Amino acid sequence: MYNHIKVTPNKNNVGAIIEAELSKFNNDIIEEVKDVLAEYGVVFFRNQRLDSETYIKFAKQFGPLAEYPMLKGLEGYSEITVVEKKPNEEIMFGEGWHTDSTYTKEPPRFTMLYSIKTPEKGKGNTMFASQYKSYETLDEKTKKKIENLKALFSADGPISKTRKNRVDEKGTGIDPKSLNAIHPIVRKNERNNKKSLYLSPGHAIKICDLDENESKTLMKRLMDHQVKDEFVYGFEWEPNCLALWSNYSVLHNPTNDFNAHRVMHRITVQ
Ligand SMILES: [Fe+2]
């Protein structure tokens, strides 16, 4: 089915591994990668050789780049955010299930992480939960109920405490309480019309137009459902890997189970 890349879906079709040399990307490769991404929600590449310039060029093939409102970028490459955990730090940036920047009016469609420094293999995995699978497996009554519901998302939601170390160091000074947005909780992929559940546990405050109790109960039920084991895949990092995901189709959660320096270069696409 794919002529320019080799694709191996993960267990339960939660993401796929792609073999391709990204430093030599061309249109054919990009179009096929976009198809695989739309199908599985997240894709992984190992053994890459991406310098920052080529990485940015590659990322631009997916849309205009977004700047992260909470942290300043890499020196000379403001489009790249350094996501790191230093030895002896306890908190890990972005720990907990979430999808990126849902508190902005137009949350970034895609996020990619390129690994620079990683702990021993098997530690610091990033977990992904397919929200295609989570939507598909809801009962029909629930699907109908949530079809037109929207939720309020805030940068001051449960995940905000994990940003503390990095914001103290190189924050932009923006008050997280000032960043809020309302979005539908069911999304449709524009490439293949697949629907997904869009409810970031790290940022969702309430479901709009429901009373407080009903909102709480429904959020709890959906949030328990959306990270069930059968929807989850954990990617084992080593240096020079790229993970690329659609924020509308998967949740992610980095595992904080190591004491070492872990450095990722992140780019988000609008
Ligand atoms: Fe994240």
pLDDT in tens, 222-264: 999 999 999 999 999 999 999 999 999 999 999 999 999 999 9
How much distance in Å is there from the Cα of 247 to the middle of ligand 1?
9
How much distance in Å is there from the Cα of 22 to the middle of ligand 1?
22
Assess whether pLDDT exceeds 90 at residue 68: no
How much distance in Å is there from the Cα of 99 to the middle of ligand 1?
6
How much distance in Å is there from the Cα of 198 to the middle of ligand 1?
14
> In this structure, are strands 42-45 and 16-19 parallel, antiparallel, or unpaired?
parallel
Please report which confidence band the pLDDT of residue 69 belongs to, taking 50, 70 and 90 as the band edges: low
Residue 1 lies in a domain: no
pLDDT in tens, 30-54: 999 999 999 999 999 999 999 999 9
pLDDT in tens, 200-213: 999 999 999 999 99
Residues 6+ apart with CB under 8 A from 260: 87, 119, 120, 123, 124
Contact at 8 Å (CB) between 18 and 6?
yes
pLDDT in tens, 98-137: 999 899 999 999 999 999 999 999 999 999 999 999 999 9
Contact at 8 Å (CB) between 20 and 29?
yes
What CATH number does residue 246 fall under?
3.60.130.10
How much distance in Å is there from the Cα of 159 to the middle of ligand 1?
10
**Which structural domain, as residue segments, surrounds residue 193?**
6-269
Nearest C-alpha neighbor of 252 from the set 264, 237, 235: 235
For the chain, how many structural domains are there in total? Answer: 1
Residue 26 lies in a domain: yes
Please give the single-letter amino acid code of residue 211.
Answer: D
Residue 78 lies in a domain: yes
